[in-house]
Amino acid sequence: LIGDQYLWPTTVPYYFEDDLDINAKGVIMKAFEQYRLKTCIDYKPWSGEKNYISVFKGSGCFSSVGNQRKGKQTLSIGAGCDRIATIEHEFLHALGFWHEQSRADRDDYVTIMWDRIQAGREHNFNKYDDTTSSSLNVPYDYGSMMHYSKTAFQNGTEPTIVTKIPAFSDVIGQRMEFSDSDLLKLNRLYNCTRPTTFLDTCDFELENICGMIQGQGDNADWERVTKATGGPDTDYSNMGRCTGTGYFMHFSTVSGSEGHTALLESRLLYPNRNYQCLQFFYYHSGNPNDKLEIWVREYNEANPSGTLRMIETITGLPETLWQLHHVSLNVSTKFRVVFKGTKGAGSSTGGLSLDDVNLSETTCPEHVWRIKNFKSIMENTPRGTAIYSPRFRSKYGYTFQMGLYPNGTETSKDMGAFASLTSGDDVIDGELTWPCPWMQITMMLMDQNADIRKRMSNQRSVTSDPNQKVEGSTMFFWDNPRKVGMEVTDGDGTKYFRGPGFGTSVYLTQARALSREFIKGGDAIFLLSMEDISHLVSSQPLPPTTPTDDLCTLIKCENDGVCVMDGVKAACRCVVGDDWWYYGDRCQFKSSNQDGVVTAVVSTVVVFVVMLVVTVVIVVCMKKKFKKKMNDMGGGTTTQNNYA
């Protein structure tokens, strides 16, 4: 939407109304994190700013376009809208974005089939000319999360939007994540220079290896290669698909002595938060005794050369597989990430390899569920049949798992995804609170693009409401699975209980699952986590009073007057000269000493003239009255001086 007046400040104030679902609040917070990771748009709780976004649970999902500058601007996240893509979509509207197919040039790219649109809904296919709406010099984006799907407002089964390039017919209408063009436009509209929480990404395709350096004081170096003796044969970013590309970093442990180390250090990084997530793919083809450690080199005034601090040792036996790892960091000063490879005892035919490193100021996902040969599983699993992840134990003690319908559920052809609590250790389960209160489980199918900012991962979250009942029963849905679940047998014969599933039958279409890089090297990766969001149950605090500074934004002092707080009121202090001054509640009037003299003279003259007029009038009236009296007495009386 063209017009600077429609822009928000880059930190947008928000207020969660009490009627919002708790899960919705949690998903909105996740959507805000995506904005922070990929753009310079940030969000903060409303603290009395003049304009803010009030998020409430209306009947449906909707928003205004742009900052309407009306103080409280509403945005509805109703039932069924608590999906991250829907929330990002509505906030994009609020930030000033129309739908993609309403662009001025849309007829060059799509054909609107007017006769297939429901009667009376034609207005949904408006377009705006380029004086109202700007495409910000970004090409038409079929992959935008602001684009309608081909079935939007259809009155039958035929598509209402036909893309001129047929390959994009099923691309339009994605509700997964921001596309590259969505981000480009948002970053251009708000003049973003850097995202708020992103720190670094590296796929080692460029020779400068993203500014990484070989550390000092080690015995060996990491090498940038396209294949390594003993494996891997390809990198992870490109999986060897492109000749002349596909680099990764490798530390060979074939030669050298036990204890030899190689340090690979990132460029200098400057954190904003005091927590970070390091994510990378790791291939271990060396001896089981070889190891990879993650360190940080922290700089401060006392240690200008930096101090090394150990974070984590990456464990695991050699495997012919690029494995995904997450390491949580907690750094608050200038730092580097250090990958330290060490040759262990024994002979080796390979080494340690790294690829697709991403560092962001976000929390790490807790659990990884990798499904090998995923395409084959999608094709060969009978419809309506679920496969289950291993049981994962969260940091709160609860165990849970994901049930996935790779070939659709009984009610939908789309992949379904459901989360269940499971029974875990008897003792631990006995100490937990049941029904499980306000735990949000997130199931994310990871888009395995090398750059975290370009990923369009598909995620859904559900939250355990301790008051929710099983339909048609008095049992609590999120109660102890031993009580409310069913006994099942694991692949290794272990028996456990699985609680009822909570999720969606329309998690992702199979066509979208086959797109982008959801499947890489044949495998799909689900990232699962459980977070306590009970802090979102209580009302968001209202600003105590309107901040004093802000009251001064409400009045404008003219003629260089200055606004100051007079008690709890804002007042203008006007400019005063030697013989002049401004006055009025906005300093809109001017006066001076000369004005005073003139005023005095004028008022004296006026008073004199008025008194003269009054005197003359009185004299004339008296004279007339006397004369009339004399006439009434018959010609009048002659007064004599009888005593003369």
Partner 1 sequence: LPTSKVTEYDVDGGKEDLFAVNQAAGLDLFEGDILYDEEQVRNS
Instruction: Tell me: does residue 98 bind partner 1 (CB under 8 A).
Output: yes
Q: Which residues are bridge partners to 110 per DSSP?
A: 163
Here the tokens at position 399 are 């165990």
Tell the smallest beta-carbon distance from residue 81 to partner 1 (Å).
6
C-alpha span between 172 and 61 (Å, rounded): 19
Which candidate in 49, 90, 177, 531 is catalytic? 90
- Sole window of 75-83, 207-215, 520-528, 572-580 interacting with partner 1 (rule: CB under 8 A): 75-83
C-alpha span between 624 and 629 (Å, rounded): 9
Could you report how far apart the first and last alpha carbons of the chain are, in Å?
A: 107
Instruction: Tell me: does residue 149 bind partner 1 (CB under 8 A).
Output: yes
Tell the smallest beta-carbon distance from residue 387 to partner 1 (Å).
10
Instruction: Tell me: does residue 368 bind partner 1 (CB under 8 A).
Output: no
Closer to partner 1 at the Cβ: 98 or 247? 98
Instruction: Tell me: does residue 423 bind partner 1 (CB under 8 A).
Output: no
C-alpha span between 140 and 106 (Å, rounded): 7
Tell the smallest beta-carbon distance from residue 502 to partner 1 (Å).
5
- Sole window of 124-132, 239-247, 251-259, 361-369 interacting with partner 1 (rule: CB under 8 A): 124-132
Instruction: Tell me: does residue 502 bind partner 1 (CB under 8 A).
Output: yes
CB 602 within 8 A of CB 610: no
The CA-atom distances, in angstroms, between 575 and each of 161, 178, 551, 572 are 63, 52, 20, 10
CB count within 10 Å of CB 287 equals 20
Tell the smallest beta-carbon distance from residue 47 to partner 1 (Å).
24
C-alpha span between 552 and 571 (Å, rounded): 8
Q: What are phi and psi of 100, to 5 degrees?
A: -60, -40
* Residue choice 110, 152, 443, 446 for contact with partner 1 (CB under 8 A): 152
Closer to partner 1 at the Cβ: 68 or 592? 68
C-alpha span between 332 and 338 (Å, rounded): 16
* Residue choice 503, 512, 572, 582 for contact with partner 1 (CB under 8 A): 503
Instruction: Tell me: does residue 93 bind partner 1 (CB under 8 A).
Output: yes
Name residue 239's amino acid: M
* Residue choice 207, 471, 560, 632 for contact with partner 1 (CB under 8 A): 471
Matching residue, tokens 């982008």: 516
The strands making up 213-214's β-sheet, listed across from edge to edge, are: 213-214, 261-265, 335-342, 291-298, 307-314
Instruction: Tell me: does residue 143 bind partner 1 (CB under 8 A).
Output: no
The whole-angstrom distance between residue 94's C-alpha and the CA centroid of its chain comes to 13
CB 284 within 8 A of CB 327: no
Among residues 497, 499, 506, 430, the alpha carbon closest in space to that of 464 is found at 499
User: Angle, to 10 degrees, between the axis of helix 22-38 and the axis of helix 84-95?
Assistant: 60
Closer to partner 1 at the Cβ: 65 or 368? 65
Closer to partner 1 at the Cβ: 63 or 197? 63
Residue 332, helix vs strand vs coil? coil
Tell the smallest beta-carbon distance from residue 110 to partner 1 (Å).
15
* Residue choice 10, 47, 51, 64 for contact with partner 1 (CB under 8 A): 64
Instruction: Tell me: does residue 52 bind partner 1 (CB under 8 A).
Output: no
Mark whether 33 is an active-site residue.
no
Q: What are phi and psi of 323, to 5 degrees?
A: -105, 140
CB 324 within 8 A of CB 359: no
Tell the smallest beta-carbon distance from residue 508 to partner 1 (Å).
10
Q: Over 539-556, what HEC string results?
A: CCCCCCCCCHHHHHHHCC
Closer to partner 1 at the Cβ: 335 or 507? 507
Closer to partner 1 at the Cβ: 56 or 299? 56
Here the tokens at position 269 are 């990084």
Here the tokens at position 212 are 């990484």
- Sole window of 220-228, 240-248, 416-424, 586-594 interacting with partner 1 (rule: CB under 8 A): 416-424
Tell the smallest beta-carbon distance from residue 120 to partner 1 (Å).
8
C-alpha span between 163 and 159 (Å, rounded): 10
Binding to partner 1, residues 101-120 (CB under 8 A): 102, 120
Closer to partner 1 at the Cβ: 471 or 632? 471
* Residue choice 22, 29, 40, 65 for contact with partner 1 (CB under 8 A): 65
Instruction: Tell me: does residue 485 bind partner 1 (CB under 8 A).
Output: yes
Closer to partner 1 at the Cβ: 67 or 197? 67
CB 330 within 8 A of CB 294: no
x/- site string to partner 1, residues 378 to 407, per CB under 8 A? -------------------------x----
Tell the smallest beta-carbon distance from residue 230 to partner 1 (Å).
36
Class of residue 555 by CB neighbours under 10 A (exposed 0-12, middle 13-18, buried 19+):
middle
> How long is the chain?
644
* Residue choice 96, 173, 215, 286 for contact with partner 1 (CB under 8 A): 173
Matching residue, tokens 């938060």: 273
Binding to partner 1, residues 279-298 (CB under 8 A): none
By CB under 8 A, name the binding residues for partner 1: 59-65, 68, 74, 78-83, 86, 89-90, 93, 98-99, 102, 120-121, 123-124, 126, 128, 132, 148-149, 152-153, 173, 175, 403, 409, 411-412, 414, 416, 418, 420, 462, 470-471, 477, 485-486, 488-491, 498-506
Active site amino acids:
90
